[in-house]
Amino acid sequence: MTRFIFITGGVVSSLGKGLASASLAALLQARGYRVRLRKLDPYLNVDPGTMNPNQHGEVFVTDDGAETDLDLGHYERFTNVAARKSDNVTTGQIYSKLLSKERRGDYLGGTVQVIPHVTDLIKEFVVNDTEGEDFVLCEIGGTVGDIEGLPFFEAIRQLGYEMGKQRVLFMHVTLVPYIAAAREIKTKPTQHSVKELRSIGIQPDILLCRAEREIPLAERRKIALFCNLREEAVIQGLDAASIYEVPRNLSEQGLDRQVLSHFALPAQSVPELARWDDITRRIHAPKGEVTVAVVGKYTGIGDVYKSLAEALDHAGIANQLKVHVRWVDAAANDIEAALQGAHAILVPGGFGERGVSGKLAAIEYARERKVPYLGICFGMQLACIEFARNALGMKDATSTEFGAYDDRDGRGPLIGLMTEWMRGNVLETRRHDGDLGGTMRLGAYDCIIAPGSLAHRVYGAEQITERHRHRYEVNIAYRAQMEEGGMRFSGMSPGGNLPEIVELADHPFFIGVQFHPEFKSRPFAAHPLFAAFVQAAAQRAEKEPKPAHVLRMPAKA
């Protein structure tokens, strides 16, 4: 029997609902259950892929090619269960499905309404494709009371009613703030938030109260009384030093036990959390530290490079090193100064021409000074451009993404749009006039690695699968010339048409990949590319042990 846990939020956003959901899933998994995580996003955009990362954080990409909310990244990292297209939906998607059904005449001329038609589609999404799962945890984006969220709340209310308590649990995440002037913690916002939830027919079974300070028992009792819950069901979620401590902390507060007892499942034993504890131990006892400069268009904004920051952390855990990330603005006046003392340089994925000259300068710096370099997607394409321009003298080498077109002897541009490629045995095409959201190579594709290459040493495999999200490709018509000059195309698509990995022979560690390895990195299994990159940074740090200037991104608990 599949049980459903709905996670809602109240009082303020950014309470870490996603992490709480992921942590609860990890706890259930640590007790031997099969879990699945889903996100219902109330905004109207059809495709999170086209949303501004400044507003919405990174776009997470699944194996099956969905561009999703970044919370799915937390889910995957905490549970190692690969998310799918069917795990994230937006109001926009629900409505576009509804309206095309209406146009097709599926509603037979009946009046089409939010209840039941929109709510039915939401319910269908929630229960669809959940066979074999013990628990499906479904997070509702936004906070209770948001107008856009209402149909989602109504849909999960209906599911709770239809399936009953033995199959549905509602967990509400709220904030219990500390007011410094009064030297008191305040429960009123939580009371109001639960009142709001109950006014739309949902009585939470568990309250997870996020707090900076310990919530005294008396206050927890008060919350329980006013919110119509048992005292044990009011769980406090205190800020943690690292996100990997959250599952252990929540378990100690009794979260997983409460969930199991709600469903009348045995809860006496304790979950197996040794691997989480091991990570925490490694984080708190690093053997050294390195500084990695990340040169991008968006800097210092917490969630834009979420998976990337996590992957670097994972690589730190694997090498037992503290990895300091220095976010370098690609538009900075003096890139060279900004890179001083960094032990490695990374140019991440990106779109558009802004900041390109700074990124190219950073790549040139890494190449010439033999600083370890990892180029991801755009960072790989730009590494090819930099090499072609500065090492091979192809001064006008560029990408058609910038509205320019370079050509040599009819070979076309160095980086350009490819209109056809093979995925397995299927020919896929990309339309130049397609929707903005529909023109990308998305999701998992295989890559064949050349024996004896750096990539081969890093992966220890000749065939890998990695996730993609890009429109443009490096043109293989330049392969021979680039390889002769010293840039090896060490990873190619199975058909040999699409360059996937490039590297420099005459360099301690210089590698560019057309895919996004950060999406597949896990705290328990750092991605080999990131692990090797951080190791190369450590080797450089040994040679040049100057204290590095450190800027940390604000952590989001």
List, by residue number, the catalytic residues: 377, 516, 518
Nearer to ligand GLN among residue 170 and residue 472 (C-beta): 472
Selected binder of ligand GLN within 17, 36, 470, 520 (CB under 6 A): 470
Nearer to ligand GLN among residue 382 and residue 537 (C-beta): 382
Selected binder of ligand GLN within 222, 471, 479, 522 (CB under 6 A): 471
Residues 140-159 that bind ligand GLN (CB under 6 A): none
Stretch near ligand GLN under the rule CB under 6 A, chosen from 267-275, 354-362, 463-471, 526-534: 463-471
Q: Rounded distance, CA 345 to CA 365, Å?
A: 9
Instruction: Output the smallest distance, CB 430 to ligand GLN, in A.
Output: 11
Q: Rounded distance, CA 345 to CA 294, Å?
A: 6
With the C-alpha atoms ordered 62, 292, 323, 513, is the resulting torsion angle positive or negative?
positive
Residue 467 touches ligand GLN, criterion: CB under 6 A: no
Nearer to ligand GLN among residue 401 and residue 500 (C-beta): 401
Nearer to ligand GLN among residue 282 and residue 470 (C-beta): 470
Q: Rounded distance, CA 58 to CA 67, Å?
A: 10
DSSP codes, 55-116? HH-PPEE-TT--EE-THHHHHHHHH-PPP-GGGEEEHHHHHHHHHHHHHHTTTTTPPP-III
Cβ-proximal residues to 369 (8 Å cutoff; 6+ apart), any chain: none
With the C-alpha atoms ordered 66, 385, 529, 58, is the resulting torsion angle positive or negative?
negative
Stretch near ligand GLN under the rule CB under 6 A, chosen from 76-84, 198-206, 249-257, 466-474: 466-474
- The DSSP 8-state label assigned to residue 24 in this structure reads H
Residue 306 touches ligand GLN, criterion: CB under 6 A: no
Selected binder of ligand GLN within 41, 76, 401, 406 (CB under 6 A): 401
Token pair for 547: 């204290």
Instruction: Output the smallest distance, CB 373 to ligand GLN, in A.
Output: 15
Residue 430 touches ligand GLN, criterion: CB under 6 A: no
Cβ-proximal residues to 358 (8 Å cutoff; 6+ apart), any chain: 295, 328, 329, 330, 331, 332, 335
Instruction: Output the smallest distance, CB 364 to ligand GLN, in A.
Output: 19
Tell me which residue of 61, 14, 153 sits closest to 469, measured CA to CA: 61
Map residues 332-361 to x or -, x wherever contact with ligand GLN holds by CB under 6 A: -----------------xxx----------
Nearer to ligand GLN among residue 14 and residue 439 (C-beta): 439
Nearer to ligand GLN among residue 123 and residue 471 (C-beta): 471
Q: How many residues bind ligand GLN (CB under 6 A)?
A: 10
**Residue 288 φ then ψ, to 5°:** -175, -175
Residue 178, CB-side half-sphere exposure with 13 Å CA sphere: 11
Instruction: Output the smallest distance, CB 439 to ligand GLN, in A.
Output: 9
Q: Rounded distance, CA 244 to CA 393, Å?
A: 48
Write out the residues near ligand GLN by the rule CB under 6 A. 349-351, 377-378, 401, 469-472
